Amino acid sequence: MRKLAFSLFGYLSAHLADHQPAQVNITEDPHADWHNGPHGDVILVEWQRQHLQDLGYNTSTYNIDYSITHTRGLQAEGTFTKWSKLNSDGKIIIPYYLEDTVTENLRQTIHDELADFSYSIGCIEMVYDPDLSNGNGLYVLGETSVDDNGSGSGCWSYVGMCPNCKNGYSRVEAGWQALRLPDWCIGQGGVHHEFLHAIGLLHEQDRPDFEDHFEYSADGGSITQEGWFNTGHTLEPSSNLMYSGFKLKNGRSYSSHDLLTTTDAVQVWKQYCEADFSQFPLPNMTTCPTPDVVDAIRPVFVHRLCDSRPDCLGLEDEGSELVRCESDLNSVGCCSSVYMSLFGHECVDNGIVNGKVSYLCPNGNQLRWENGQGWYNS
């Protein structure tokens, strides 16, 4: 019987196949204008617009909410105000609420992707708050939401913490801020994209090194070197915050990831966590063995291995060098056995746990899925 072999670097949280065999898509995103232009999903308030303009941005294509007159909060750094409320574990919490306009059968997708978001970043935890019990948070509007004028469209978010920023939706709870996720946006990677804006990030194509890799575009590379928080990572065309439609100088094609990439998460961690919350490290990582479309070697979370979403350009995280499924698939599309190379154990299908196949090893340990965290051998 062929097996799934895990190497030493990944055995503690190696991510096995999902219920269905991997569907790999490396074509360019068909929605080149999916957010109403390369800045159309971002809403700035006036002080942010002025600050970005001072840093060299052309803010003419951004949406500006001039109704917000408050100035920067004490936690503001650069172009956004950081979230700062802590839970009992000392993590930064960002509450979110789903309005009844959010399509019912997509709610669990949002919860699942935000659990992955929290686990991937380390010091930030997205907390579902169906009772609006917190003083501020993200009030998520859905497919059928309309504003006070009876209209509503687009997928968008404010940048950073912005209490009482409602974009014409007066019903948004006092102290909370609006974020809109229509159905199509959820299906195109919009959950992580908009929540990344909500914690303070702009777009990947706005970096000052844009023209090192892409042909000139008025919609890319507008920030100056002086205003850039440089974490030392090469621009990532597959970033969840990267728009399609730009032309790489080397003639290669790219597409943005459905989730924040490992590089995205590392850069968030450096901005939010490294200085004051380093007790919450990033999850285990390995490295893609082949470079991406701009010849950069990228890290990849171990819990993202074989998750049906390719992270490495050569698809090594979905098979072959990093994780290999060699057995006949069982009834739900997963390997019928796995091999833990560190211990020399062959572990066999032991039924469903937390919605995924679990595996029983000869020493009595179980390899099982923990929601939002990945696979564990315990």
- Across the strands, what pairs with 214? 248
Q: Structural domain boundaries of the chain?
A: 1-22+285-378, 27-283
- The pLDDT of residue 224 is 84
Give tens-digit pLDDT for 77-99: 577 899 999 999 999 999 999 99
- The pLDDT of residue 354 is 67
What is the 8-class DSSP label of residue 29?
P
- The pLDDT of residue 291 is 94
Kindly state the helix (H) or strand (E) to which residue 267 belongs, with its residue range.
Answer: helix 262-272
- The pLDDT of residue 358 is 77
For the ranges 137-141, 171-175, 270-274, the lowest mean pLDDT is seen at 270-274
Tell me the average pLDDT of the chain. Answer: 82
State mean pLDDT over 304-314: 85
What is the 8-class DSSP label of residue 335?
B
Who contacts 164 (Cβ-Cβ below 8 Å, separation ≥6)?
68, 70, 174, 175, 176, 177
Residue pair 9/286 in contact by the 8 Å Cβ criterion: yes
State mean pLDDT over 288-311: 90
Give tens-digit pLDDT for 202-214: 999 999 999 999 9
- The pLDDT of residue 40 is 87
User: Which of these CATH numbers, 3.40.50.10950, 3.40.50.620, 3.40.390.10, 3.40.309.10, describes 27-283?
Assistant: 3.40.390.10
Give tens-digit pLDDT for 105-141: 999 999 999 999 999 999 999 999 999 999 999 999 9
Q: Which comes out higher in pLDDT, residue 235 or 337?
A: 235
Of residues 181, 202, 195, 203, the one with CA closest to residue 94: 195
Give the number of residues written for the chain: 378
DSSP string, 222-261: -S-GGG----SPPP-TT-TTPPS---BTT-------SS--
Residue pair 304/311 in contact by the 8 Å Cβ criterion: yes
CB atoms within 10 A of CB 53: 14
Q: Is this structure's pTM higher than 0.85?
A: no
- The pLDDT of residue 60 is 87
Q: In the block, which residue shows the tokens 């909370």?
A: 176
Give tens-digit pLDDT for 24-52: 222 233 333 445 677 889 999 999 999 89
Residue 6: band (very low, low, confident or very high) from pLDDT cuts 50, 70, 90: very low
Backbone conformation region of residue 56, classed left if phi is above 0, alpha if psi is from -120 to 50, else beta:
left
- The pLDDT of residue 227 is 79
